[in-house]
């Protein structure tokens, strides 16, 4: 079984100040996303699907789609505000798509087996893809709601230049996800690693806390759960133009109801990503260091 890699790449990079998905940071003009795809192919993934905005189609075709077809099966689909279930009206005040859960839902017709979900602006490390591929190596359709998540220590997932969003996780004694809550403002401070929500006082997080980095493993049944969850989300948040439909909220509902189990796959890799423009120099040097060590070739797609 060769799983599919589903890449969330429809963001406009408001905090970064540009299209970081297409930013060339490698020694031969590679993007950060190129290294994720390279690791996934090396680990046994057989297909790549991009979720993009229609306005990014030309850039993605030039940068990824045509070139990658020589190395892996590749496809793409759009995520736009108006792409909602039949009968739902989009509020006039809505300025952007509905979040990561909505993005994954767009790919339903392109995936018929297990798949991994990643962000386009995060470097997860090769071990993450190997863990995901190994988990679904012997997958059969009988493993309907058998999901997984690659978990990272929160202290290995922070930017030096501002707050980040992470899913704070509780893992039970069986190594399964018992709870995950999306926190949208996590940062390192003199008092330690903290998160802030809604003007409340900062809450300290132990550095070994497991967090979700939107590095998930799902089976096709997840699309049905997303549809149901999205309809509920819309009914509750129609009047809130900034509300986001997050993957962790759907996962949490499923594990709390006992409808699904989510195995937490441990990963000790050092994350780095391009949340802010100031992150760029560090990311470039980190990639070049991995090239010097021989982890990656000087030119990925030679």
Q: What is the pLDDT along the chain (302 residues), one digit of tens a residue?
A: 799 999 999 876 555 555 677 889 999 989 999 999 999 999 999 999 999 999 888 888 888 888 898 899 999 999 988 888 777 777 777 778 888 999 999 999 999 999 999 999 899 999 999 999 999 999 998 999 999 999 999 999 998 888 998 989 999 999 999 999 888 899 999 999 999 987 788 999 999 999 999 999 999 999 999 999 998 998 888 888 788 899 999 999 999 999 999 999 988 888 888 888 888 999 999 999 999 999 999 999 87
Q: Which of 60, 85, 69, 66 is nearest to 10 (CA)?
A: 60
224-251 in b/e form (b: 16+ CB < 10 A) is ebbeebbeebbeeeeeeeeebbbbbbbb
Dist. CA 183–CA 202, nearest whole Å = 12
Secondary structure E strands in 30-86: 47-52, 73-78
Q: Which of 120, 148, 138, 124 is nearest to 39 (CA)?
A: 124
- pTM, two decimals, is 0.91
Task: Render pLDDT for 25-75 as a digit per residue (tens, 0 to 9).
Answer: 999 989 999 999 999 999 999 999 999 999 888 888 888 888 898 899 999
Tokens of 108: 């339903």
DSSP state of 24: B
Helix (H) / strand (E) containing 95: none
Residue reference for tokens 């399964």: 176
End-to-end CA gap in the chain: 27
User: If you count them, how many residues does the chain have?
Assistant: 302
Angle at alpha carbon of residue 237, lines to 20 and 53, rounded to 5°? 25
Contacts of residue 207, defined as CB under 8 A and 6 or more positions apart, other chains included, come to: 153, 154, 155, 192, 193
Task: Render pLDDT for 66-111 as a digit per residue (tens, 0 to 9).
Answer: 889 889 999 999 998 888 877 777 777 777 888 899 999 999 999 9
Residue 14 has a pLDDT of 56
Dist. CA 129–CA 36, nearest whole Å = 9
* Exposed/middle/buried for residue 6 (C-beta within 10 Å: 0-12, 13-18, 19+): buried
């Amino acid at each position: 079984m060769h799983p599919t890699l589903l890449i969330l790449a429809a963001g406009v990079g408001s905090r970064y100040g540009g299209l970081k998905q297409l930013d060339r940071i490698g020694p031969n003009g590679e993007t950060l996303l190129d290294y994720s795809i390279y690791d996934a192919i090396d680990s046994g993934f057989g297909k790549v699907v991009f979720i993009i905005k229609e306005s990014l189609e030309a850039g993605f075709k030039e940068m990824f789609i045509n070139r990658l077809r020589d190395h892996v099966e590749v496809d793409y689909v759009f995520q736009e505000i108006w792409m909602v279930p039949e009968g739902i009206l989009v509020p006039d005040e809505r300025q952007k798509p509905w979040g990561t859960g909505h993005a994954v839902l767009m790919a339903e017709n392109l995936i018929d087996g297990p798949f991994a979900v990643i962000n386009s602006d995060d470097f997860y490390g090769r071990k993450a893809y190997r863990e995901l591929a190994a988990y679904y190596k012997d997958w059969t359709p009988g493993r309907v709601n058998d999901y997984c998540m690659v978990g990272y220590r929160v202290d290995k997932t922070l930017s030096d230049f501002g707050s980040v969003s992470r899913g704070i996780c509780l893992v039970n004694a069986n190594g399964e996800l018992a709870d995950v809550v999306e926190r949208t403002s996590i940062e390192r401070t003199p008092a330690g690693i903290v998160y802030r929500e809604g003007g409340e006082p900062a809450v300290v997080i132990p550095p070994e806390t497991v967090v979700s980095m939107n590095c998930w493993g799902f089976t096709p049944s997840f699309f049905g759960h997303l549809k149901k969850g999205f309809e509920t989300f819309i009914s509750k948040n129609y009047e809130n133009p900034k509300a986001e439909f997050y993957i962790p909220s759907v996962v949490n509902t499923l594990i709390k109801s006992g409808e699904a189990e989510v195995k937490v796959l441990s990963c000790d890799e050092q994350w780095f990503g391009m949340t802010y423009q100031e992150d760029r120099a560090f990311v470039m040097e980190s990639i070049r260091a991995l090239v010097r060590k021989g982890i990656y070739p000087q030119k990925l797609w030679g």
